Structure 1
Amino acid sequence: MKTNPPAVRIVTISADEAGQRIDNFLRTQLKGVPKSMIYRILRKGEVRINKGRIKPEYKLEEGDEVRIPPVRVSERDDETVSPKLAKVAALADAILFEDDSILVMNKPSGTAVHGGSGLSFGVIEGLRALRPDARFLELVHRLDRDTSGILLVAKKRSALRSLHEQLREKGMQKDYLALVRGQWPAHLKVVRAPLLKNILQSGERVVRVSSEGKPSETHFKVEERYAHATLVKASPVTGRTHQIRVHTLYAGHPIAFDDRYGEKEFDSQLAGTGLKRLFLHAAALRFTHPQSGEVMRVEAPLDEELKHCLALLRKSSPAK
Structure 2
Amino acid sequence: MMDKESEWEIVRWLWSLQRKGRWRMSIGGEDGCIGTLALSWSFAGFRKTEKLRMVHRTLAHCLQDPMETVFPKTKIPKCSKEEKKLLQKAAARSRRQERKRSLEDFLHYESINISDYYFENGLRKVFPYHFMFKAYVKRRWIDRPIHEVLLDEFNFPFPDIIVKKHARCDSGDLRVNDECISPDYLLRDSDMISHKVHRHEMPVLDSPIDFIHEDDDLLVINKPASIPVHPCGQYTLNSLTHILARQYDRRPLRFTHRLDRMTSGLMIIAKNYDASLRLATEISAREVKKYYICRVDGHFPDEVEDSPSTLPQGVIACTQPLGPLCSKMGLHAVVSESSGGKPACTHFKRLLYDPDTNTSLVVCRLFTGRTHQIRIHLQYLGYPITDDPLYNSSDWGDKRGKGAQYGVPVDEVIRRISAHRSKDSYLDFVHGTESSISGFDRLRDHLNSTRSALDKEVRDRLLQSFDSTCPECIRFYKDPDMKCLVLQLHAYRYEDRQRIRIRSFQNIISSVNDSRYMGTKSRV
TM-score by length of 2: 0.41
1:18 corresponds, among 98, 122, 127, to: 98
Residue in structure 2 matched with residue 253 of structure 1 by the alignment: 383
Q: Does 1:27 align with 2:101?
A: no
Structure 1 Cα separation of the partners of residues 96 and 274 of structure 2: 6
Q: Mapping of 1:131-210 within 5 angstroms?
A: 131-132=248-249, 134=251, 136-188=252-304, 189-200=316-327, 203-210=328-335
Partner of 1:73 in structure 2? none
Match of 2:516, SS state, is: helix
Judging changes above 3 Å, is the alpha-carbon distance between structure 1 residues 307 and 35 closer, same or farther for their aligned structure 2 residues?
A: closer
Closer/same/farther in 2, CA of residues 131 and 16 from structure 1, 3 Å limit: farther
Structure 1 letter corresponding to 2:495: R
Which residue is 1:220 aligned to? 348
Name the CA shift for 1:256/1:159 in 2 (closer, same or farther; >3 Å).
same
Find the residue that maps to 1:204 and give its secondary structure. Answer: coil
Determine which structure has more spread, i.e. the larger CA radius of gyration. 2
Distance 1:157 1:313, change over 3 A: closer
How many Å apart are 1:24 and its aligned residue? Answer: 9.9
C-alpha contact 1:176 1:282 (8 A) present in aligned 2: yes
**Aligned CA distance change for structure 1 residues 90 and 25 (closer, same or farther; 3 Å):** closer
CA distance in 1, matches of 2:494, 2:98: 28
1:104 matched to 2:220: yes
The answer (yes or no) to whether the contact 2:295–2:512 under 8 Å persists in 1 is: no
- Say whether the 8 Å CA contact 2:219–2:271 is kept in structure 1: yes
Q: Distance in 2 between matches of 1:220 and 1:304?
A: 19
Task: Work out which of the residue numbers 235, 242, 245 in structure 2 matches 1:125.
Answer: 242
Do the aligned partners of residues 100 and 250 (structure 1) sit closer, same or farther apart at CA in structure 2, a change above 3 Å counting? Answer: same
**Could you tell me how far 1:114 is from its partner in structure 2?**
2.4
- How big is the shift at 1:121? 1.1
Residue in structure 1 matched with residue 149 of structure 2 by the alignment: none
**As a proportion of its length, which structure holds more helix?**
2
Shift of 1:161: 0.7
TM superposition shift of 1:18 = 1.8
Instruction: Tell me, in whole angstroms, the C-alpha distance in 1 between the residues paired with 2:278 and 2:320.
Output: 29
What is the match of residue 309 of structure 1?
514
Larger strand fraction of residues: 1
Q: 1:157 to 1:186 in 2, by over 3 A?
A: same
Code of the aligned partner of 1:108: P
Using the TM superposition, give the Cα deviation of residue 160 of structure 1 relative to its aligned residue in structure 2, in angstroms: 0.8
- Please report the TM-score for the alignment, with normalisation by the length of structure 1: 0.65
Q: Deviations over 1:31-77 (max 9, x none)?
A: 6487879x9xxx9xxxxxxxxxxxxxxxxxxxxxxxxxxxxxxxxx9
Distance in 1 between the 2:514 and 2:102 partners?
48
Displacement over 6 Å in runs of 4+: 21-24, 33-37, 312-315
The answer (yes or no) to whether the contact 1:254–1:263 under 8 Å persists in 2 is: no
Bigger Cα displacement from structure 2, 117-126 vs 236-245: 117-126
Q: Structure 1 pair 163/225, CA: closer, same or farther in 2 (3 Å)?
A: same
Query: Which residue does 1:299 correspond to in 2?
Result: 503
CA contact (8 A) 2:225 2:262 kept: yes
Whole-angstrom CA distance in 1 between matches of 2:386 and 2:512: 14
Aligned-residue offset at 1:255:
0.5
Deviations along 1:185-210, whole A, 9 cap, x unmatched? 2024110000011334xx32111111
Q: 1:313 to 1:295 in 2, by over 3 A?
A: closer
- Which residue of structure 1 lines up, in the alignment, with residue 124 of structure 2? none
Instruction: Tell me the secondary structure at the aligned position of residue 221 of structure 1.
Output: strand
SS at match of 2:281: helix
- For structure 1, which segment, 218-227 or 256-265, has the greater mean C-alpha deviation from structure 2 after superposition? 256-265
Please give the alpha-carbon distance, in whole angstroms, between the structure 1 residues aligned to 2:250 and 2:219: 15
Aligned partner letter, 2:489: L
With a CA cutoff of 8 Å and minimum separation of 6, indicate the structure with the bigger relative contact order. Answer: 1
State the Cα RMSD in Å: 3.9
Structure 1 unaligned regions, length at least 5: 1-14, 44-76, 81-85, 267-274, 289-293
The residue identity in structure 2 corresponding to 1:208 is A
Quick one: distance in 1 between partners of 2:250 and 2:512?
Answer: 36
1:24 and 1:255, CA in 2 relative to 1: closer, same or farther beyond 3 A? farther
* CA distance in 1 between partners of 2:393 and 2:270 (Å): 37
SS in 2 for 1:239: coil
Q: 1:168 to 1:133 in 2, by over 3 A?
A: closer
- Note the C-alpha offset of 1:16: 11
Quick check: 1:124–1:138 contact (8 Å CA) kept in 2? Answer: no
